[in-house]
Structure 1
Amino acid sequence: MEDLNTIKSTNSTEEVDKEGKNIGIISYITLIGLIIAFVMNNDKKSEFASYHIRQSLGLGVTGLALGIIGMIPIIGWIINIIAIFILLYMWVIGILNASKSKMKPVPLLGEKYEEWFKSVG
């Protein structure tokens, strides 16, 4: 009987991890995906999903800041073009980490995102 209970608890843990992983991946898919992931994570709090929601939120806020900087003629445009490629790289790393079930911060600002958005998720 103990073996059956162990198997059941293992399966439910895997389901929660799979659900958390799916929520983490969804959080990186546009602003709408971030909102959907946030709502999905409210029912059953998954630390993994919350972590990636915070990382994705940080990337979104950084993108918004870049949009504002991009309004500045010439120098803002140059900064924006370079930074968009860096932000794209950070986004790809974030979604890869979520798909590989890693709670690893995105490069450059990931640790700051953890600090800034610790109450979110």
Structure 2
Amino acid sequence: MNNKTLSILSYITIIGWIIAFVKSKDLTPKSDLVNYHLKQGFGIFIVSLIINIALTIIVSIIPALYFLSYIGYVIFILWIFGIINAANEQKKPIPVIGKAFENQFGFIS
């Protein structure tokens, strides 16, 4: 697989992320682009997991706050931005939350 494919795959569910992570270890020379998008993809996965768990708890306690579930659409849009950046082979952070993941997840490098 080439760098562009691995970068895009790093956003496609956690299974795709694991495949991209394993395949990126085989690349010589190491690709900064793939590592960057692996970090961004893992970050958006963690954020979406935390938000979904929190919203499930909040809405089950206070059903009147069901409108908060629309936050899931925002996460989906941010995910699309990440895929577009990977497809264009750009190292741009995901809007709003992407900067937080640029220097995190040291195990990816």
TM-score normalised to structure 2 length: 0.84
- 1:78 deviates by 3.6
Match of 1:29 among 12, 20, 26: 12
1:50 is the counterpart of 2:35: yes
Looking at both structures, which has the greater relative contact order when contacts are Cα pairs under 8 Å and sequence separation is at least 6? Answer: 2
Alpha-carbon distance change, 76 to 55 in structure 1, aligned in 2, over 3 angstroms: farther
Cα separation, 1, equivalents of 2:46 and 2:84: 20
Larger-gyration structure (1/2): 1
| Match of residue 50 from structure 2 | 65
- 1:34 deviates by 0.3
Moved more, 19-28 or 110-119: 110-119
Cα separation, 2, equivalents of 1:63 and 1:96: 18
Alpha-carbon distance change, 112 to 118 in structure 1, aligned in 2, over 3 angstroms: farther
Counting matched residue pairs gives 103
Q: What runs of 5+ residues in structure 2 fail to find an aligned partner? A: none
| Match of residue 13 from structure 1 | none
- Provide the secondary structure at the position in 2 that maps to 1:24: helix
Percent identity among equivalent residues? Answer: 33
Q: 1:69–1:76: 8 Å Cα contact kept in structure 2?
A: no
Match of 2:98 among 80, 85, 110: 110
Moved over 6 A (4+): none
| Match of residue 15 from structure 1 | none
> What letter matches 2:3 in structure 1?
G
> What letter matches 1:109 in structure 2?
I
| Match of residue 9 from structure 1 | none
How large is the Cα RMSD of the aligned pairs? 1.8
1:40 is the counterpart of 2:28: no
TM-score normalised to structure 1 length: 0.77
- Provide the secondary structure at the position in 2 that maps to 1:115: coil
